[in-house]
Chains A and B, each alone.
Chain A
Amino acid sequence: MMAGRRLFRSFLLRIHRFCLHTYPSWFRAAHGGAMIGTFEDLVTVTYERTGTFGVIRVAIAEFGSLLFRGMRERFSRPSPPPDHQPLSNGRRQHEINFRERNRMYTTNNFRYAFRSLVRTPGYTAAFVLTLGLGIGANTAIFSVINGVLLRPLPYPDADRIMYLEQVAAAGGTTNTSLSFVEVADYRTEATTLEEVVEFGDWTFNVLGRGEPHLTIAGLVTANFFQVLGLRPHLGRTLTEEDDSRASEPVAVLTYEYWVRMFGADSSVIGQTLDLTVKKATIVGVLEPGSHYASMRAQPVRSVLARGGASGQDFYANYPSNDHYMSASMQDERAHRMTSVFAKLRSGVTVEAARAEVDGIAANLHASYPESYPEGRGYEIVITPWRDLITQQARPMLLILFGTALFVLVIACANVANLTLTRLIRQERELAIRAALGAGLARIRGQLMAENLALSLAGATLGLVLAVTGLDLLVSYASRFTARTGEIGIDLFVLAFTLIIAVGAAMLFAWAPRLPFSQDLGASLTAAGGGRATGGVNRRRAQRALVVSQLAISFVLLVGAGLMTRSLIKLNRVDPGFDLENVMSMDMPDFSGQSQPQRFEFSRTLVGRVKQFPQVDAASMASGAPLQGRFVTPRAFGVEGRELLPNPPTPPTLLKFAGPDYFRTVGTTLLAGRTFESRDHAEAPRVAIINESMAKFYFPDRDPVGRRMATVRFNGALGPWATIVGVVADTKEAGLDREPVHTYFQALEQNFAQTTLLVRTKGDPLPVAGQVLEEVRALDPNRPVLDVQTLEQRRAASVAPQRLNATLFTVFAALALVIATVGIAGVLSFSVSQRTNEFGIRMTLGADQTKVLKMVLLEGATLAAVALGIGGAGALLLSRFLSGLLFEIQPTDPVTFFGVAALLTLVTIAASLAPARNATSVDPMKALRAE
C-alpha cells in the first residue's frame, strides 16, 4: 500500500517535471525548484484529505495549468526579462496583466506555421486524423472515468457517507440487509456514526396520473434528506414525526419525476399520490439532483421499461408501505430487509467506525444467538458509498482506459514518424533559413507552433468524436454502475484533452531532434549539401516507432481476440432451456386482491392463451428464465434425516411454476412427473428439484416420493412437500455461472405469480398483442411489461460481454489501421530515399524480384521483431483480462497465433505498394539524378 503510494507519487512528480518543460528555460531556472516543492506539498495534503482519486483530480488540474501557462510564457517571452531595467509607468501595468508584450512574436510564429501547413495538406490531414482518433478514444473514456470514478458524489461531505451491509460470509450471502431492530441498536450505540439512515428500495404502481405506471421509490427515514443534503424545491422534506409507525403516508417527489409526471405543477403539495394499496400525501418536491440510493444499474431498470429516467421517482416514509409495516418486519431481529446508510461523525476515520461497529455486532451476537447462527459468519461491512456504487465498473473502465492509452501511444508514434519524415524533407529549407540568421530558438519556436496548431486541431477533432460516442459509452457504463448521471465533457475533461494535446506537441517537437543527436543547427548546416542525409540514427528511430506500433497492436488484438472468443463460447453454452419460439411478459399485480382471486385470473388467462391456434403451451411462473434473481443461500431439511445444527446453505433458486411450465420453457424431465392441475391449494404439497439439488441432498437414493422442507429464518422447518420429479439443470443464474440448486414449488399451493410464458409454433412476438387484449379484458388496471422472447433475454444476458468485446475490437481495429498506415508510410519513405541505391543495383544486374524481396524483407523483419515484443507484452498483460473471460485462458494459443498470422499478413500487404514502387525505378533516371 505504502510502496504503491510512493511509486504513484514519484510517477506524478515525473509528469510534473515533464510539464515544467513547457516553460522557457530562464523561467524554470528561476522557479522550477520552488514549483516542484509546491506540487509536492499539494500532493501530500490532498492525499491526507481525499485519497488517491482526489490527488488524480488535483494533479490533472495542475498539469493542465502548467502546460497552458508554460506555453503562454514561452510564446510571449522566450528570453528572460532584462534585470534592473526601469520600466515606464505605462508599461508596468501591461507587465502584470500579460498583455501586448511580444504578441507579435507569437502571432508571427503561428502565421508562419499555418502557411507552411496549408502547403502540405496530406501531412496536415494525416497528423490531425491520427491524433484526433487517439485523443477521441481517450477523451471519451476519460469523461466516463471522470463522471463515475473521479468526481466526488454530488452531496455535501460525500466522503463521510457510508453504506452498511450485513454479510453472512460463511452462508455465501454478500448482503442480507439489516432488520429495523438491528438498525435501532446501531443507531443508539454507535458514537462514530452521526446519523443512521434506513433505506428501502421499492417499486410502486402509481394510479390516477395518466396510465398506471411503475415507479422506483425509496422508503426512507427523515434523516435521509439531511445526510444527503437534499433540500426541498417546494414544500418540505420528511420530519421525525413522519418516521413513527402511527404517522400517515407522505411522499417527497424528486424534481425530475415532478417535471415528468406533474408538468412542474406547483399545486401538487397536499395532493395525494395513489400507490394502489395506500395513498400518500405529497408534502414536498426536491431540488434537481442525481439519485443513486437504490444503486440499481440498468439491467434491473430496463425491466421497468421506463426509458431515460434515472434514479428514484420519489421518496416516502415507511408507513407508505404495508410490507415494511408488518409486525414481523417491525419486531423480528432476523427479518432483515432494509438497507442502511450512515454518516460518519466529522473527523472520524472509516477504520474507527469499523472497529466500533464490530464491537457492537459482537455484543449483539452474544445477546441474541438465535438470530445469528454460528458458522454463518454474520458481520457488518462498512464501505464508503462512492466505492460501493462504482466498484463493479472500476476494473472494466480502467482496462478500457489502458486500452485507449495504447491507441494513443500508437497514434503518437505514427505522428512522430510523420513529423520526422517531414523534417527530413524540410531540411534544406530550414538550413537555408538558419544560414540567413533565423536562429535556432526561432526555428524551434516555429516547429513548436506548427506542432501545437496541429495537436490542438487533433484535440478538437478528438473532442467531436468523444461527444459523438458519449451516449454509447453512457449506456455501456450504465450496465455496471448506477452512477452515470454526471458523465459529460466538463472543464476537467477539457483539461485532460489539453494535456494530451500539448504533451503530444512537445513530444513531436523533440522527435525531430532525435536524428540530430545534439545540435539542430549543426545538422541543418550539414544538410545544406543538397539531398537529405538520412542518417542511420534517424532510420533506426523510425523503425523503432513502427515496431512499437505493431507490438502494441498485437497486445490490443490479443485482448480483442480473447474477448471475442469468450463471447463465442458463451453463446454456445446450453442453457438447459429450449429458447426458440418462447416469449415472456410480466404483469405485476398491485390490486390488493385475495390469493384465490389472483389464481382465478392466472388460470383464466393461461386457459384463454392456450386456445390461440399459434400457441403450443403456456404457463405462469415466478420470473422468466435467465433473469437470475431470487438466488439465495438456503438450507433444506429432508424427512427422516436429522437436521445438522449449522446446515450448509448452498445458493438456491426458489421458483414457483404452474402446470406445463417445463414443457413451455423446454426443460427436460429426468425422473417422476411435472406439475399438473391436480396440484392445487387443497392437494398435498409437491415440489420438483433439479439434478444438482437431487445429487446434493440424495446422493445415493431416488428423491422422487421423499419429502423436503426449507429451513426458515427462525430455524424452523416448513412447509413440507413431496418431491414428485427431477428436472435437468439450467443456467438460470447466468450463462457464465455454474447451475445453482433449484427448488420448484407448485404455483397454486403458494402465491399467485405474474410472469406469463408462452411457447408458440412460429415467431412468438406477433402473438403478444392478442395476449395483451386478453389481459386488458380481464383487468384493465394491470400494467404489462417487459415483453421479450427468451432469445432476446439470452442476448441481453451476455450484453456486457458483447459490449466489452465490441469496444475492444473497435480499439484494436483502430490501432491496426493506424499501425498499417505507419508501416506503409515508413517503407515508402525508405524506398523513396533509396531510389538511387535501387537504380544502381538494377543497373548492376539485380532483377525486379530481387528488389521486391529486399523491400518485403525489410517489412517482414520489422514484423518479426514486433511479433516477438508484442507477444511477450500480451503474455504479461492478458492476465488482467482473466476476470472478463469465459472458458478461455488468457494465454490461449489459438488467439495468439491467429493474431500473429493476421499481423504478418497486414505487414506484407502494407509493404506491397512500396515494394512495387521500388521495382519500377528507372535505372537511368536514378543515375542521372545522381
Chain B
Amino acid sequence: MIQETPDPQSFLPLTNLSFHTLVALAEEDRHGYAIIKDIEDRTDRQLSVRSGALYTVIQRLLEVGLVGNAPAPAPVPDGGPTSDQRRKYYRITKLGRQVAALEGARLARMVDAAHQRRLLPEREVR
C-alpha cells in the first residue's frame, strides 16, 4: 500500500482553537486543563476555552496526526490541583509543528498587511 505523504499546506487554514492548541503543545506535553489554562493565560482570558470544544478539537487533531498521545510525566510534588491516572497527556507531532508554523506565518502575513495599510500603528515590516 502506498502511504501518501501528507502535505502540511493542505491543513490550512486551521480553526482558532486548533491553532491555539498546537501552540500550547509546542512548548511541552500537556493535559486538557493545562492546555485550557495556557490558552487563557496567553490570551489574557480574551479567549475562554470550554472543555467540550477542546476535546472535539483534540479528537480531530489526533485523527489527522497533528497530535499524539504522550506518556504521563513523573509526578511532581507540587504539581496541579489533582493528579490521577485518568489524565491524558498530548504531544505535538512533527507534522503538527510544521502545520502550526505554516499557520503562524499565514497569520503574520495578514497582520503585516494591516500594518502596511495603517490599520495598525506603523512598524518595520519584515
Contacts and interface: CB of A to CB of B under 8 A. Distances in A.
Nearest to B55: A31
Contact of B33 (A31, A38, A67, A88): A38
B71 interface: no
A37 B86 contact: yes
Given A31-B59, A66-B52, A37 B82 contact: yes
Contact of A96 (B18, B31, B87): B18
B94 to A, nearest CB: 16
A42 B33 contact: yes
B26 interface: no
B33 A41 contact: yes
A34 B88 contact: yes
A33 interface: yes
A86 B6 CA distance: 9
Given A86-B4, A90-B10, A96-B61, A73 B82 contact: no
Contacts of B54: 38
Given A65-B52, A88-B4, A34 B87 contact: yes
Nearest to A16: B51
A67 B10 CA distance: 31
Contacts of B32: 34-35, 37-38, 41
Interface in A27-65: 27, 30-31, 33-42, 44-45, 61-62, 64-65
A96 B11 contact: yes
Nearest to B61: A96
Interface in A768-783: none
B51 A42 contact: yes
A39 B32 CA distance: 9
B12 interface: yes
Interface string A68-103: 111011000000010000111110110111100000
B60 A95 contact: yes
Given A86-B4, A89-B6, A45 B81 contact: yes
A88 B64 CA distance: 10
Contact of A93 (B11, B37, B56, B63): B11
B44 interface: no
A69 B4 contact: no
A96 B60 contact: yes
Nearest to B87: A37
B101 interface: no
Contacts of A37: 31-33, 82, 84, 86-87
B10 A62 contact: no
Q: Among the interface residues A35, A62, A72, A90, which one has the most CB atoms of the partner chain B within 10 A?
A: A35
A64 to B, nearest CB: 8
A797 B54 CA distance: 53
Contacts of A87: 64
B46 interface: no
Contacts of B51: 35, 38-39, 42, 62, 65-66
A34 B55 contact: yes
Given A27-B59, A89-B10, A41 B50 contact: no
Nearest to A45: B81
Interface string B15-56: 100100000000000011100110000000000101111111
A419 B77 CA distance: 53
Interface residues of A, number: 38
A86 B33 CA distance: 30
Interface in A365-411: none
A61 B3 CA distance: 42
Contact of A92 (B11, B15, B48, B52): B11
Given A65-B52, A87-B64, A93 B12 contact: yes
B7 interface: yes
B19 to A, nearest CB: 10
Interface in A631-667: none
B5 to A, nearest CB: 9
Contact of A70 (B3, B15, B31, B52): B52
B28 to A, nearest CB: 17
A33 B85 CA distance: 9
A68 B50 CA distance: 11
A95 B63 contact: yes
B126 to A, nearest CB: 27
B81 A92 contact: no
Interface string A863-894: 00000000000000000000000000000000
A90 B14 CA distance: 14
Nearest to A73: B56
Nearest to B63: A81
B58 interface: yes
Contacts of B3: 86
Given A34-B87, A65-B53, A66-B51, A89 B4 contact: yes
Contacts of A62: 50-52
Contacts of A64: 50
B88 A92 contact: no
Contacts of A40: 81-82
A42 B36 contact: yes
B80 interface: yes
Contacts of A35: 32, 51-52, 55
Contacts of A93: 10-12
Nearest to A90: B10
Nearest to B32: A38
Q: Among the interface residues B3, B12, B15, B52, which one has the most CB atoms of the partner chain A within 10 A?
A: B52
B6 A92 contact: yes
Nearest to B15: A97
A66 B80 CA distance: 23
A351 B112 CA distance: 50
Nearest to A81: B63
Nearest to B10: A89
B73 to A, nearest CB: 15
Contact of A38 (B18, B36, B63): B36
A69 B57 CA distance: 10
B81 A44 contact: yes
Contacts of B87: 34, 37
Nearest to A39: B51
Nearest to A96: B60
Interface string A268-299: 00000000000000000000000000000000
Nearest to A86: B4
Contacts of A34: 31-32, 55, 86-88
B14 A33 contact: no
Contacts of B15: 96-97
Interface string B65-102: 00000000000000011101011100000000000000
A464 B54 CA distance: 32
A96 B87 CA distance: 23
Contacts of A81: 63
A96 B82 contact: no
Contacts of B81: 40-41, 44-45
Contacts of A96: 11, 14-15, 18, 60-61, 64
Contacts of B64: 87, 92, 95-96
A27 B87 CA distance: 16
Contacts of B6: 89, 92
A529 B59 CA distance: 44
Interface in A839-860: none
Nearest to A87: B64
28 contacts: A27-B59, A33-B86, A34-B55, A35-B51, A36-B86, A37-B31, A38-B51, A38-B55, A40-B81, A40-B82, A41-B32, A44-B82, A62-B52, A64-B50, A69-B53, A69-B55, A70-B52, A73-B56, A81-B63, A87-B64, A89-B7, A92-B11, A93-B11, A93-B12, A95-B64, A96-B18, A96-B60, A98-B56
Interface of A: 27, 30-31, 33-42, 44-45, 61-62, 64-70, 72-73, 81, 86-90, 92-93, 95-98
